[in-house]
Chains A and B, each alone.
Chain A
Amino acid sequence: MSFLSEALWVLLLGSLLGLELIGKVPPTLHTPLMSGANAISGITMLAALTLIIKAGENFPLLVIGSVALGFALFNVIGGFLVTDRMLAMFSRKKTSHKGYR
């Protein structure tokens, strides 16, 4: 039972933290923020990883875990890279702008 009570506290505090973190977001960043947060939600890859490691010789479970890991990593790697691509445009412009003014 102790895991449950701890886990519920963690859930509550994590939610409150999430609510606090996004205070005022300029509209410019809505799209990158959404895609960055989306990448973080791929954290289920940890659960998939655990599943595979604990599966032992259980073939179907290995397959399920592996597919789950693939989906999660698609989300994580794709999400972070695409966010970086978007944000790179903002920063590149800032420096080049300084250059010709």
Chain B
Amino acid sequence: MTIQILKYAIDLIAVLLLALGIKGLSKVRSARDANRLAGIAMLLAVVGVLINFLGGAGISINAWIWIILGASLGGLLGMLTAQRVPMTAMPETVALFNGCGGMSSLLVAIGVALFPVATSSGELSNGLIEISSIVVSVFVGAITFSGSIVAMAKLQGWLSTPAWMQSKLRHAVNIAFAVLSLVGAIEFFQGGGSGLWLSVTGSALLGIGVTLPIGGADMPVVISLLNSYSGVAAAAAGFVVGSQLLIVAGAMVGAAGLILTQVMCKGMNRSLLSVLFGGALGASSSLAGTTENNEYTNITSCSVEECALTLEAAERVVVVPGYGLAVAQAQHTLREVARALEAGGIDVSYAIHPVAGRMPGHMNVLLAEADVPYEQLKEMDIVNPEFPATDVVLVLGANDVVNPQAKNDSSSPLYGMPVLDVQQARTVFVVKRGMNAGYSGIKNDLFELSNTSMVFGDAKKVLGDLLVELKELGVGKKG
């Protein structure tokens, strides 16, 4: 009995710490401690489970072996992945971790369905509750797993969307998958063991079918949504094994993930429905207009030297960093250039679009890695009114987020997305490798404006050359 009470106490403390952890993660100052707090809460929860069994029926040597085997293998791989993965690959890493969480819930549900020793009552016979929670766990777990893996593969560039997936046909196919999963679930309810596998297959296929047509720019929203699902899957697994701690934690993550998804959608001016069912952003236009629409006619290009001269004469410079900057690993060189300009008395700030990088907040992480002071990062709403008073804007590897089409051209697929109004500055330099279209495959009108000059080249090389030119001009030397 005392063991029971001890276990309840540990569980309650764990829930409290988890809640404080999630709360603290939403503030810059407390975020790191909050993350650790949540980690401690998880450890505590494991201790609670172990104590409960040690004080009760005990844990066999056999069980310990399998626990240590699974835990050390998974934990070690997780540790290595977390340490090795580059910051630029953060979105796909989160997707991978998330998929594995979903897989775990799925496996638990399958295990209980096949061998019902682990249910709260110890059997499946009376189990409308058990069976329905297994069904939910299988459904959500499988979708989370296959969806997350597809999201990861798409972000890594391993998978591209097949053409038929962008047609309306995919809705019919997805409905068929959902029906398959439902039929399996009904059969499982009636005691058919094969129904379980039908449901697993249908749900996994549904996860693939729903995620595959979604365009790269919308992928962060999907990952956030899948993250919410994995919380739901955990809560469902909690019903399966009769653990209230699992239900609370899963429900918290599920709800918090939903809110975060909503916040992200707002930042991109997209509705969740259009992300999920609207298909790839710009897919139709890039198919129709690759030949005639996307050709640029009026491009001004200039050398790094000219760019340096203009920068030297400027008073206010705003840098617009994008994913291309991160790919070129040029954050550090950018910081050097900014230091030189600042030392020359030039005001430098960074305009951060809400979806700069590949995930909201991703660019902040990348710039923080390069030691850029937090105060110089300006959010879109604050920096937009400042562009008319800006001498030079340096666009580095960003494309869609500075496309004026989003404001001016109601026929553009980008129309309505909030963008940075860089064209209002006196001079705009766009550093770009070539004239290829951006993430969305949409032509950027900014490049043809008279105050825009293109500087062709890899972002890191251009910035390196720029640094040399600035030094030769004597920018940043004292006196």
- In the complex, which residues 308-364 of chain B have their Cβ closer than 8 Å to any Cβ of chain A? 352, 354, 359-362, 364
Q: Is B371 in contact with chain A by the CB < 8 A criterion?
A: yes
Q: How far is the CA of A68 from the CA of B259 in the complex (A)?
A: 28
Interface size for A (C-beta < 8 A) is: 88
How would residues 36 to 63 of chain A score, 1 for a CB under 8 Å from any chain B CB and 0 otherwise? 1111111111111111111111101111
B252–A34 touching, CB < 8 Å: no
A33–B26 touching, CB < 8 Å: yes
B28–A72 touching, CB < 8 Å: no
Residues of the B chain whose Cβ atoms lie less than 8 Å from the Cβ of A83? 35
A72–B100 touching, CB < 8 Å: yes
Contact partner, B104, options A45, A58, A94, Cβ 8 Å: A45
Q: Interface majority SS on A: helix, strand, loop or mixed? A: helix
Q: How far is the CA of A70 from the CA of B263 in the complex (A)?
A: 32
A86–B90 touching, CB < 8 Å: yes
Q: How far is the CA of A20 from the CA of B99 in the complex (A)?
A: 26
Q: Work out how many contacts link A and B, with CB atoms closer than 8 A.
A: 388
> Which of A34, A35, A80 is packed against the most chain B CB atoms within 10 Å?
A34
A41–B237 touching, CB < 8 Å: no
Q: Is B159 in contact with chain A by the CB < 8 A criterion?
A: no
Residue in chain B with minimal CB distance to A26: B28
Q: How far is the CA of A33 from the CA of B253 in the complex (A)?
A: 11
Residues of the B chain whose Cβ atoms lie less than 8 Å from the Cβ of A46? 45-46, 49, 241, 243, 245-246
Q: How far is the CA of A14 from the CA of B32 in the complex (A)?
A: 23
Residue in chain A with minimal CB distance to B18: A40
Q: A82-B82, A87-B32 are in contact. Are A62 and B66 (CB under 8 A)?
A: yes
Q: Is B77 in contact with chain A by the CB < 8 A criterion?
A: yes
A65–B111 touching, CB < 8 Å: yes
Give the segment of B115-123, B178-186, B386-394 that binds chain A.
B115-123
> Which of B93, B98, B373 is packed against the most chain A CB atoms within 10 Å?
B98
24 pairs, A vs B, C-beta closer than 8 Å: A7-B238, A7-B239, A11-B247, A21-B22, A23-B26, A31-B360, A32-B31, A33-B25, A38-B98, A40-B22, A42-B100, A46-B49, A46-B246, A47-B237, A66-B67, A66-B69, A74-B74, A78-B79, A78-B81, A81-B79, A90-B28, A90-B32, A91-B32, A96-B371
Residues of chain A touching chain B, judged by Cβ–Cβ distance below 8 Å, are 3-4, 6-7, 10-19, 21-58, 60-91, 93-94, 96-97
